Amino acid sequence: MTTQPSRAAKQGGGCFSRLLNLLTFLILLIGLLLLAGVVLLFAAPDVVQPLLGVQLFGQREGNEGGEITAVVPTTAAIAILPTSTATSPVALSQLQPTWTPQAVTVNNESDPLYTPPPSRTPTAIPIFPTNTSTSTPTPTPTNTPTATPVGPTPTSSPTRAPFPFTKSDTSPFYLQNYANNAGCNWLGIAGEVLDINRNPVPKSTYQVHIWDSGLNERVPVGGAPAYSPSGWEQFVFSSPVVRSYKVQLETSNGTPVSEVYTVTTRASCNENLLRFDFVQNH
């Protein structure tokens, strides 16, 4: 009789323990759900507010600067777990946000995040000239062969001088005085006149005009036979010196038959005779 009540008491105590465990589990589950709801409320308010049908956050009228504050909903009671912050409405600027996206500001002075590649400059299309008709080349006439003369090649005749007499190829040339006994105490100009056949011209048919350096004389041809039958001579100074004179052949009546030649004496006893000869050209 004593064993049955103790067994019933044990069964009653086991049911109570199971009920207490079930309630504890339900309270724990509800707490976890509330905690998840609070976390979801702060993390994604735009998703939770339409589900609850209330506005948990809004803008309080009269707040300077448009500061946003938390508004406690009045439609339903929500269990709020104790936190480290005050339960009274606080400014959202004082809350620690979980994550706020930062706007990217492009500074012209810093390197841009992305630099677009330079646009490709279109290449100018070359314009080629249109084909123009080319003129037909005109055939050039060929050179007609000329007959080659038989025999020796003719030589050109020497150029005719403007005057019939010119100086010889060796004139002027310098010698030591030999025509008189004055030796070195004498300085003179002398020569001869030859015709076209290289023979002395007749006496007194021509004269030699000598002037400059304080001298102006006309000497008849043939008056100095020591040089040639047509020889002539003119004394200019008593010792060898350097002086310039002009010489020209004339007819006996003073008509020029040669151009004017300039000669220069030398200051040397071995060259105190200046020889100058005239030769007929035509």
Evaluate if residue 50 carries a pLDDT over 70: no
Specify the amino acid at residue 264. Answer: T
Question: Is 108 contained in some domain?
Answer: no
Classify residue 42: in a domain, yes or no.
yes
Given this model, what pLDDT does residue 59 score? Answer: 45
When pLDDT is cut at 50, 70 and 90, the band that residue 37 belongs to is: confident
- Could you give the CA distance from residue 99 to residue 234 in angstroms, rounded to a whole number? 134
Point out the domain boundary residue: 65, 92, 119. Answer: 92
Which whole number is the average pLDDT over 56-82? Answer: 48
Residue 262: which CATH number? 2.60.40.10
Best-predicted range by mean pLDDT among 68-77, 150-159, 236-245? 236-245
Compare 120 and 149 and report the one with higher pLDDT.
120
The answer on pLDDT for 92 being more than 60 is no
Which carries the bigger pLDDT value, residue 3 or residue 229?
229
**How many other CB atoms are found less than 10 A from the CB of residue 245?**
22
> How many whole angstroms separate alpha carbon 178 and alpha carbon 275?
12
Domain presence at residue 141 = no
pLDDT tens for each residue of 205-237: 999 999 999 999 999 999 999 999 999 999 999
Please count the structural domains in the chain.
2
Burial 67-100 (b: 16+ CB within 10 A, else e): eebeeeeeeeeeeeeeeeeeeeeeeeeeeeeeee
77 and 183 housed in the same domain: no
- Which one, of 227, 218, 223, lies nearest residue 251 by Cα? 218
pLDDT at residue 213, as a whole number: 95
Residue 193, in any domain of the structure: yes
92, 117, 140 — which closes off a domain? Answer: 92
- Of 50, 68, 92, the position where a domain reaches its end is 92
Can you tell me the mean pLDDT for 32-53? Answer: 76
Query: What string of DSSP letters covers 137-203?
Result: PPPPPPPPPPPPPPSSPPPPPPPPPSSSEEE-TT-SEEE---SSS-TTS-EEEEEEEE-TTS-BPPT
282 against 94, higher pLDDT: 282
Mean pLDDT of the region 84-103: 52
Q: Are 85 and 184 in the same domain?
A: no
| SS3 call for 225 | coil
Q: Between 65 and 102, whose confidence is greater?
A: 102
Radius of gyration of the chain (CA): 73
Q: What is the span of the domain harbouring residue 232?
A: 165-280
Residue with tokens 């010489």: 247
In the prediction, which pLDDT does 14 show?
76
What is the Cα–Cα distance from 240 to 45, expressed in whole angstroms? Answer: 138
Query: Is the model more confident about 133 or about 173?
Result: 173
What DSSP letter does each residue of 157-169 carry, written as one string?
A: PPPPPSSSEEE-T
Q: What single letter denotes the amino acid at residue 177?
A: N
Share of the chain above pLDDT 90, in %: 46
Question: Could you tell me which of 248, 261, 245 has the C-alpha nearest to residue 188?
Answer: 245
Record the pTM: 0.46
What are the DSSP E strand ranges found in 3-59? 57-59
Residue 117 lies in a domain: no
Q: What is the pLDDT of residues 177-201, one digit of tens each?
A: 999 999 999 999 999 999 999 999 9
Q: Are the CB atoms for 174 and 271 separated by under 8 Å?
A: yes
Please list, in sequence order, all residues whose beta carbon lies within 8 angstroms of the beta carbon of residue 32, skipping any fewer than 6 positions away. Answer: none
> Sorting pLDDT into bands at 50, 70 and 90, what band is 72?
very low
Q: Is the pLDDT of residue 75 over 90?
A: no
Residue that wins the pLDDT comparison between 215 and 76: 215
